[in-house]
Amino acid sequence: MASPKKLSHLVLQTNRRAEMIAWYCKVLGADLLFQNKQIAFISYDDEHHRVAFIDPGPLADKAPAEGKTARAGGEVGLHHVAFTFDPLDLADHYDGLKAQGIRPHRCVNHGMTTSMYYYDPDRNQVELLFDNFHNVRDGRDWMTKRSPDDKNPVGIDFDPDEMVARLRQGLDIEELSLINA
């Protein structure tokens, strides 16, 4: 099976979004590309986003290493990590994982990416994706032109087997960027 070609982005759940944005922009030399009430995206290079910050409402602080454990998914910290593939490599990778009984728990066309989300053994989310643009500049432009009032800021769920079949039939990936158009 193919290996990913790059680490795509990091998404952090936080109660301190403004402070996190300021700190990461300062430390990474990044720019704020998009923000609404629930999410913000920054990047330090030509990528449409490298770090995102989700504010889903009140979260528990991280539990201490020993002692209590905060409820899963309801605390600050890493939301998911993402790895980018070429489209046909991701199709092959999906088939290889599926043959081993490893299936995504959610598949979403986000507009700028087509993504399959998996849980690791500790239930951390791992996103395997491909970009919906032929070059990084178009993906970045798509992100910066979004409206904070988009009716569907997350994207549209899709069937992975159907997507794999469409890719193998020659789907132009830029058709997938039109979900909010």
Q: For the chain, which domains are there?
A: 6-63+72-178 (3.10.180.10)
pLDDT single digits (tens) 52-88: 999 888 887 765 544 444 344 567 777 888 999 999 9
* Cα separation, 144 vs 147, whole angstroms: 8
111 C-beta neighbours (distance < 10 Å), count: 25
Contact status, residue 127 vs residue 83, Cβ threshold 8 Å: yes
* Confidence (pTM): 0.76
d(CA 133, CA 49): 14
Ranges of residues in the chain with a pLDDT under 50 are 65-72, 181
CB 130 within 8 A of CB 87: yes
